[in-house]
Structure 1
Amino acid sequence: MAVTGAIFALFVLAHMYGNLKLLWGEEAYNDYAHHLRTIGEPMLPYAGLLWVLRIVLLVSLVAHLWAAFTLWGRAERARSHKYAVKKRVRQSLSSRWMRWGGVFIFVFLVWHLIEFTIVRVDVSGKPVPDNPFQLVVDSFQVWWLTLIYVVAMLALYMHLAHGVFSLNQTLGWTNTKGTYARAKVLGHVVAAVVVVGFLIPPLAVLFRLVK
């Protein structure tokens, strides 16, 4: 789970960078979207590297979900044992919401891919433009879609903050009070940077700063 979590953390950082291109206008954003599909040409076919990345992410997602449900099942079985010692463990908000937040993020991810990649749906009711920039702008000018996006980013914040901290634990970097505290701070800093970076473009569109 730590390895797949690290892969997703790197992906969301790269995806955040791409989304911020929206602030530089239509030409910059569309050039970036086109560049993603032409990397490696002519050695790779059109969108070849993009499909490789998609396959890596899909395999990582399946592995991440399998690990999550395995751990969830173990925790439930441990709680069901009558002889298990009951302990009150103080958990952070992010760790308590890790499971259901992950489920929400997964559902949001499925819709996000349908809207912008697999089917391409313009929720504004306009004809779907053959223009990545315009599709994003049309979508985030719809207030309720932007609200769902904001809620998803809050779920991502809690998931990512706890995930980065857990990665540090797995690597054995939280053995002292000082390193434990620093790992906690690092998790929140990374999560905050990513979420703020993701929220800037849709909010800029909603408030007509980008159009």
Structure 2
Amino acid sequence: MVPAELANALAEAGQRMDLRCWVPGSAGNLSARVDDARIAITRSGVHKGRLKTSDIMAVDYDGKTLSEGMKPSAETLLHCQLYRLFPQVGAVLHGHSVAATVLSMQGAITFSDYEILKAFGFATHEIDVVLPVYANDQDIGRLAAYIEPLLLRDPPIGYVIAGHGVYAWGTSVEHAYWRLEALEFLLQCELERRRMK
């Protein structure tokens, strides 16, 4: 159901995220667009540092499993939403780093004058970029419905669920990883700056 190359890329990304301490325990979830009918996503409850290709399953765009006997991540609908709304999205990575979790509990996050903002396609670093923080909700369908008009109104560079973690996406698994890495760098910088005040 999932092409081997895509499953390998997701498993490797999970292992890389684990090395950076972005996915403790069984936290986080990773996905990639397979085609117009299928999404590859990590199964529920698996440690991302120990991901194997057999831990990558397929779901449809409504989040329903296409891999018999496997349960997808609880947050699958948030992944499906990004693929449905933005045709250019090829992969979505979600982690639970300390910086993302702590900063998201303090309200909105704005990045100003960081050179690495160019990683998101901006022509200059001399800008203010808001990383949206959405209130956590255990009802993922309700959370997705709340987020959708906000994503459409002003597509962000990523977003954070308060007290939870960051979502990043890109055209491929590797591109999504680069963008996640850039976001995590920015979040860590902001955390350090606030400590220094």
Give the TM bin, normalised by the shorter chain.
Answer: under 0.3
Q: Which has the higher contact order (CA 8 A, sep 6+)?
A: 1
**Of Structure 1 and Structure 2, which has the larger fraction of its residues in strand?**
2
| Greater gyration radius | 1
TM-score by length of 1: 0.24
TM-score by length of 2: 0.25
